[in-house]
């Protein structure tokens, strides 16, 4: 069903790391963020654009479907499968690479990517951002960027259900 939803920005981790190596060697700043990005809305687009502005390459760690399900989001999610979410995100100019992760947190992915900048939305206090200690120990910085008010996937789902 999703075999046609391919894009060169969507990479398995080994290929992502291979592509990042020359950029890292050239001194380019690698930015990492992660999330579900289930139903795209302006808040997502805004956050990703501001993430990209913090460096040269934006890597997005995208939760697998199972990872999203284990988060217990209400209503049960994801609405869109990983392949659908990744395909839509790949067409955003701000996103350079997308790779999936199946764990509950992106910690192993962050350790592998070793970003210069780790970013989450402002709904995450800095002390709770997974990977913060590792990124800071490696000389990087961690940011929680303010969210665009009035947009959330959960509220969008509730609006649709109310129609």
pLDDT in tens, 53-68: 999 999 999 999 999 9
pLDDT at 73 > cutoff 80:
no
pLDDT at 44 > cutoff 90:
yes
Sheet with 30-35, strands from edge to edge, namely 97-101, 57-63, 30-35, 117-121, 141-145
pLDDT at 129 > cutoff 80:
yes
Give mean pLDDT, residues 19-26: 98
C-beta separation of 98 from 62 below 8 A: yes
Give mean pLDDT, residues 138-155: 89
- The confidence band for 75, taking pLDDT boundaries of 50, 70 and 90, is low
Angle at alpha carbon of residue 86, lines to 139 and 46, rounded to 5°: 65
- pLDDT score of 153: 78
Distances in Å between the alpha carbon of 108 and those of 45, 151, 162? 25, 29, 39
- pLDDT score of 155: 81
C-beta separation of 47 from 87 below 8 A: no
Structure tokens at 97: 């690479």
């Amino acid at each position: 069903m999703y075999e046609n939803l391919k894009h060169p920005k969507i990479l398995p981790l080994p290929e992502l790391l291979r592509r990042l190596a020359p950029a890292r060697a050239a001194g380019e700043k690698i930015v990492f963020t992660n999330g579900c990005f289930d139903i795209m809305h302006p808040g997502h687009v805004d956050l990703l654009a501001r993430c990209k502005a913090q460096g040269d390459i934006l890597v997005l760690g995208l939760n697998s479907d199972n990872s999203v399900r284990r988060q217990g989001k209400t209503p049960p999610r994801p609405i869109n499968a990983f392949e659908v979410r990744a395909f839509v995100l790949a067409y955003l100019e701000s996103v350079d690479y997308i790779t999936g992760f199946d764990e509950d947190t992106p910690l192993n992915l962050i350790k592998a990517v070793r970003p210069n900048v780790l970013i989450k939305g402002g709904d995450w206090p800095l002390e709770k951002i997974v990977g913060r200690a590792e990124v800071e120990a490696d000389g990087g910085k961690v940011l929680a960027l303010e969210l665009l008010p009035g947009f959330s996937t959960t509220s969008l789902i509730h609006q649709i259900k109310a129609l």
